[in-house]
Amino acid sequence: MLSQKTRYAIRAMQHLADNYGKGPVQLAEIAEKQNIPANFLTVILSELGRVGLVVSQRGRDGGYWLALSPVDISYGDLIRVMRGSLALVPCASRFAHEKCKNCVEEGECRTRALMLRVRDATAEQLDAVRLSDRIDPVPGFTDDQLEA
């Protein structure tokens, strides 16, 4: 699964994309609207600044804005810079590759071969969707669905 940090980064970037072209957005606004702890958000925004996705300006009228147009940032790009693994098993991850305990030879493992396919399909989906694309939220699961 994506780390909490990556999920916060995605929500912060969606907020900045919604406000693209409208001037700097204050950290307190992003924290409140996206329900992200302010201290953690400061760290995340500074990391996004270091990789060139976010620009900031200090001072009373300062804040944060996207360094690129939302149309030029894909979800795949964003997850990769946050070092989020897209793989379901560590041996299928390119950024965070690890073998599991008592591993069989990677080149002979069918589980890994299948999980690589799943990873590549996930990456394809995430690379095809940009921050500018409309994504309609879907209702949360009901208790019955969660128990099924």
> Which residues are near ligand SF4 by CB under 6 A?
89, 91, 99-100, 103-104, 106, 109, 111-112
| Residues pairing with 54 in the sheet | 66
**Is the CB of 43 or the CB of 104 nearer to ligand SF4?**
104
- Smallest gap from Cβ 118 to ligand SF4, in A, equals 12
- Smallest gap from Cβ 26 to ligand SF4, in A, equals 45
**Is the CB of 66 or the CB of 89 nearer to ligand SF4?**
89
The CA distance from 44 to 34, in Å, is: 13
**Is the CB of 53 or the CB of 109 nearer to ligand SF4?**
109
- Smallest gap from Cβ 121 to ligand SF4, in A, equals 17
Query: Taking the alpha carbons of 105, 106, 108, 111 in that order, is the dihedral positive or negative?
Result: positive
- Smallest gap from Cβ 83 to ligand SF4, in A, equals 19
**Is the CB of 3 or the CB of 111 nearer to ligand SF4?**
111
Helix axes 4-18, 38-50, angle to 10 degrees: 80
The CA distance from 3 to 22, in Å, is: 30
The CA distance from 138 to 110, in Å, is: 34
Phi and psi at residue 124, to the nearest 5°? -60, -45
